[in-house]
Amino acid sequence: MSSADQNTPDPSPRPGRLTAAAACAGLEALALVAGGGYLLVMGLLGRPDSPQQAEMGGLTLMALGLIPLFAARGLLLRRAWSRGPAVATQIMALPVAWTLLRSSGALIPAGIALAVIAVSALVLLVSPTTTQALGIRGPDRA
């Protein structure tokens, strides 16, 4: 497949499952960037116990938010490469959701929401409709 073939948009409509998977990845990206921004601002204002840790944590979360953001964009544009980072992001979200579920207070609903989004996105990303829309072929279909 030439680079011109990869840049040509597919004329068929984008499957709803692919759009939903991109929305899940985009939602996670938004949450990571927002959480990182919050930590960064709190670190700069000097409110946490360790401002340096809060600032670095905020920058790290914002940088990690770029992964699902680029994956969501790639899914919307039907780029086959985008499924890998999207799946990896969902797999990494599951232990975070488990940790939130085992905590207390307002973190439990956040853990439930994260678990639901991550599992839903994984199901959407591995569905045959999504795989076909991204042009991913199995090993026996060379």
What's this model's pTM, rounded to 2 decimal places?
0.83
Q: Is residue 8 part of a domain?
A: no
Q: What is the pLDDT of residues 8-51, one digit of tens each?
A: 445 678 889 999 999 999 999 999 999 999 989 988 887 778 88
Q: What is the pLDDT of residues 93-141, one digit of tens each?
A: 999 999 999 998 888 999 999 999 999 999 999 999 999 899 888 776 6
Q: Is residue 139 part of a domain?
A: no
Chain centre distance of CA 55: 22
Q: Do the beta carbons of residue 126 and residue 21 sit within 8 Å?
A: no
Burial classification of residue 119, based on how many CB atoms lie within 10 Å of its CB (0-12 exposed, 13-18 middle, 19 or more buried): middle
How many structural domains does the chain have? 1
Q: Cα–Cα distance between 46 and 39 in angstroms, integer? A: 10
User: Which candidate, 62, 53, 119, places its Cα nearest to that of 87?
Assistant: 119
The residue range of the domain holding 80 is 16-133
Q: Is residue 81 part of a domain?
A: yes
Q: Is residue 29 part of a domain?
A: yes
User: Which candidate, 96, 97, 116, 117, places its Cα nearest to that of 28?
Assistant: 117
Q: Is residue 121 part of a domain?
A: yes
Q: Is residue 141 part of a domain?
A: no
Q: Do the beta carbons of residue 116 and residue 97 sit within 8 Å?
A: no
Helix (H, G, I), strand (E, B) or coil at 57: helix
Q: Is residue 105 part of a domain?
A: yes
Q: Is residue 11 part of a domain?
A: no
